[in-house]
Amino acid sequence: MILGRRPLLLSLGCAALVGCKRKREPITAEVWDEEPAIARAEAIGALAPPWPSPSRGQLDNGLITFWLHEPDSASMRIRLLVPTSAGGNAVPGEGVAVVAEHARFDWQRRVQKLGIAVAIEHGPNRFELVATGSDERLAATLGALRTTLATQTPTGIEGARERIGDQIPALGNLEAAASAALRRLIGTDDVVHADKLRGLSRAELHGHWQTLADPQRAVLVVHSGTPAESAKAELRKLAEAWRGAEKRGAGTTLVDQATARLGRRAVPKSTGTRLLAQPPTPMIIAAGGKGAPTLVLARTIALENARERAIARLAQRVAQEELDASLVISGNVAVFMVSANLGRSAVDKDVQRTVDELAAIARARQPRQRQFQAVQLWLGARVVESSLAGEDWTRLFATAIDLADADTAIAGALANDAKHQLDVGPDELEAWTRKWIDPRQGEPGWAWAAAGLDAAASKKIEKLVPLA
């Protein structure tokens, strides 16, 4: 069964915003610019498993594998990471949802009697299939995955479409506004639309399966008490059976880095506009859904290296103390979003106030102690999340892939990320926020949308800013 809202929100941005409502964190009574004692945060940030670096391999079918060997572990996890864009062309969210659900359902039914649980985790520009259970069932679970992936025209994929269609909830104003802003920024959104889902033909579903279920684009991460050498036979069978479509255009080369398969992509073209400044960003009035009228401000940010990704997360953590701010990073591209509720009687003033609050945060110089506290909260949350997930090292490893610039840097990426965040000084952070998240005077490239407004409120918006 697909849990929660994941069939609806596939985590390009909307899901992160919905799940990232602001919780006002305690701010130290006094802040100053002396160097903090960073040893505690460094220890939290490393979060390195107490076993050797993972074994990396590439199977004959092109699949990249990482094997995390924890001696004497009684449990195992198998995580298959599947990018949802191919050759720069993203598979629509409806196709992604159906392919992911069919793979989960088929794999699950084959291992149900073994006590293995299979789940889907949607992330930015990818989905992940995760199998959890006893380490004694590792070979059988890999064998079941092989059978699931081996077919080019999967039987029962239309059933996955029906299961998803039965679980799509009504759209809320927050999701509607975020979806509209994302479409303006990157040409797509992470909402599964019921009408588009119903319109997918069997041929289209098979085409999406062949595009996504491709070993030359995927990454497999295994955490097990069994060493990689003991699983060679099963991995060889997987490579022999799962060949993918194996149709490549002229001049196409195999991408042999996991970081490149999952992260590097073209930065979307900037909208070239700013909020309530010249040139002005027209506001999109989206169809209303459930809940209070909602405003969403959003932009894309180009992140060239690991340090810039760390600065972006630090900036989001600081902004989140005062606004409903979220950040979704996919390789070298990030989407930054802020949401706010709007009153119907003074909607224009609410819009101006939200822009002013974000501008004030972007232009403020954050004392070093406040930055340090934000880093501690971020790294501590990562530790807690790992513990609550039963120390799922494959999830942490997948996170590390996103933080690294090359496969050789994945093992140390979590520690390096913590170090980068701790090394950022107040002047560097202020320069970055002024450039990227100041809506009036920073880099152009914003989009915004409101949902749940009545006609009178929309007219007030139109007096303040052009409508798209």
What structural domains and CATH numbers belong to the chain? 14-20+33-262 (3.30.830.10), 283-464 (3.30.830.10)
Question: What single letter denotes the amino acid at residue 183?
Answer: R
Provide the strand spans (E) within 135-276. Answer: 219-224
pLDDT by residue for the chain (468 residues), tens only, comes to: 233 334 455 555 555 555 455 544 434 334 444 554 444 444 444 555 666 778 999 999 999 999 999 888 899 999 999 998 755 566 888 999 999 999 999 999 999 999 999 999 998 889 999 999 999 999 999 999 999 999 999 999 999 999 999 888 888 999 999 999 999 998 877 788 889 999 999 999 999 999 999 999 999 999 999 999 999 999 999 999 999 766 555 556 788 999 999 876 778 899 999 999 988 999 999 987 788 899 999 999 999 888 999 899 999 999 998 999 999 888 788 999 999 999 878 999 999 999 999 999 999 999 988 888 888 777 777 666 666 656 688 988 898 888 888 899 888 888 888 888 888 999 999 999 999 999 999 999 999 999 999 999 999 999 999 998
Beta carbons within 10 angstroms of residue 62's beta carbon = 20
Determine the Cα angle at 158 with ends 154 and 159, to 5°.
105
330 neighbors 125 (Cβ within 8 angstroms): yes
Give the strands of the sheet with 219-224, arranged side by side.
55-58, 64-69, 219-224, 75-83, 126-134, 117-123
Nearest to 313 by CA among 394, 257, 382: 382
- HSE-up of residue 315 (Cα within 13 Å, Cβ side): 35
429 neighbors 437 (Cβ within 8 angstroms): no
Nearest to 364 by CA among 258, 448, 466, 437: 437
Q: How far apart are CA 34 and CA 209, in angstroms?
A: 55
DSSP symbol at 192: -
Q: How far apart are CA 379 and CA 45, in angstroms?
A: 6
User: Residue 27: its pLDDT value, please?
Assistant: 40
Specify the 3-state DSSP secondary structure of 35.
coil
User: Residue 4: its pLDDT value, please?
Assistant: 35
Using a CB cutoff of 8 Å and minimum separation of 24, what contacts does 6-9 make?
A: 6/120, 6/122, 7/97, 7/101, 7/164, 7/167, 7/168, 7/192, 8/168, 8/169, 8/171, 8/175, 8/191, 8/192, 9/122, 9/175, 9/190, 9/191, 9/192
Q: How far apart are CA 263 and CA 441, in angstroms?
A: 29
User: Residue 249: its pLDDT value, please?
Assistant: 53
User: Residue 26: its pLDDT value, please?
Assistant: 39
φ, ψ for residue 47, nearest 5 deg: 40, 45
Instruction: Give the pTM.
Output: 0.85
Nearest to 328 by CA among 318, 320, 336: 336
Buried b vs exposed e over 357-387: b needs ≥16 C-beta within 10 Å? bbbebbebebbbbbbbbbbbbbbeebeeebe
Stretch (H or E) spanning 339: strand 333-341
How much is the CA Rg of the chain, to the nearest whole Å? 23
Q: How far apart are CA 102 and CA 113, in angstroms?
A: 19
Alpha helix segments (H runs only) across 84-201:
93-111, 138-150, 157-165, 173-186, 194-198
Nearest to 447 by CA among 124, 182, 269, 189: 182
User: Residue 11: its pLDDT value, please?
Assistant: 55
Reading the block at residue 446, the tokens are 């914003």
User: Residue 387: its pLDDT value, please?
Assistant: 61
Q: How far apart are CA 64 and CA 268, in angstroms?
A: 27
DSSP symbol at 114: G
Q: How far apart are CA 25 and CA 216, in angstroms?
A: 43
